[in-house]
Chains A and B, each alone.
Chain A
Amino acid sequence: MKRHTAKGLLILMGLVAMAMPAQAEELKSLRGSRDLAAGSEPPEINREISDDRPIPRNYVQQPPLIPHKTEGYRIDRNYNKCLSCHSWANYQQAKATKIPPTHFVGRDGKELANVSAARYFCTQCHVPQTDTRPLVENEFEPVKALK
């Protein structure tokens, strides 16, 4: 019994040793064959689209996208930089789009006098765009209602 085990172990070790070089060649990490020490290639830095021209929507319920830079625009309890142009009091002076009445409805459906806290953090839905290519090639097309 003991001898059998030893023999089996020896054969197994031999098999593993034979398989080793082939395995080492086939094994590839997700980062490719790049040397660990060489580091990875930094992603391209994308520029925000900032031509102030409305970006077409892809579906009817889509929150409109932001066609300008928003770097440094703070939204906090004290002040909302977006609303300094897009609020009802400011949009005419700033020649901006005003926020729709849907943003004055609380989550319980109650109409409010000022912008709802649930709608206050603009960038949860509205985002700026960059001029980058899609990460995955696709054949996405807007819905027919928007064509």
Chain B
Amino acid sequence: MLESTNKKRFKWGPYLFGGVAGMVLLAAFLGELHYSATEKFCISCHEMEANVYMEYKETAHYMNKSGVRAICTDCHLSQHLVQKVGRKVKAVNEVFQHFKGTINSREKFIEKRLHLAEKVWAEMKANDSRECRSCHSAKSMDYTKQSKRAMEQHIKGDDEKKTCIECHKGIAHKLPDMQTIDPSAVIGI
């Protein structure tokens, strides 16, 4: 009788261990997800710090009259968990390219710039400038408070079902050589 109860007794040990380990892992995962979305982490790579970060520091998304700032991840990383993790998986390639030294000098970066920019533009166009809209909500945008020029262009853009990035390119970083995109606005010979 005593023996059989002993045998049937529920063993908490493995479950407790599993639960705690799971919580630790989840905390580590979320912690990593949070840390790898900080500005400090982004510019810990020379490629980011010396090129795009320095350029961004001159723009309105870094410094403006109201002091509201958008950091790298506000524009380049989704706030939704699934897309966020998806982007992190894609970033494995970026880590690989970092160690390969694909853009480890200014010259190499400039050489690659059009390709890199086009990738970001395509991504933003495909998701209807989702990250822009997480701050710049169309519903909350009062066109009548804008300059005449801005108001007209925004109404036109809405009518033509355009998305933010189609007009607002190069607002936080310098543009690549735009010869192939808008030759009428590039230096002639």
Contact = CB atoms under 8 A, between A and B. Distances in A.
A103 B111 CA distance: 30
A112 B152 CA distance: 33
A117 B188 contact: yes
B5 interface: no
Residue picked from A52, A68, A79, A84, most chain B C-beta under 10 Å? A79
- List the 7 closest A-B pairs by CB distance, nearest first: A114-B188, A83-B185, A89-B184, A87-B184, A79-B178, A79-B175, A78-B177
Is the contact region of chain A dominated by helix, strand, or loop, or is it mixed? loop
A90 B188 contact: no
A74 B170 CA distance: 10
B188 A78 contact: no
Contacts, number: 74
Interface in A57-82: 68, 72, 74, 76-81
Given A112-B189, A114-B189, A95 B152 contact: yes
Contact of A74 (B60, B174, B186): B174
Counting chain B residues whose Cβ lies within 8 A of the other chain, the interface size class is 20 to 34
B59 interface: yes
A50 B147 contact: yes
Contacts of A88: 184
B186 A116 contact: no
A115 B189 CA distance: 8
Interface residues of A, number: 28
B92 interface: no
Contacts of B178: 78-79
Given A52-B148, A52-B149, A94-B153, A89 B182 contact: yes
Contacts of A120: 187-188
Contacts of B186: 78-80, 83, 114
A27 interface: no
Contact of B185 (A50, A52, A87): A87
8 contacts: A68-B147, A72-B171, A79-B185, A79-B186, A87-B182, A90-B182, A95-B149, A112-B188
Contact of A72 (B60, B147, B187): B60
A135 interface: no
Interface in B148-189: 148-149, 152-153, 170-171, 174-178, 182-189
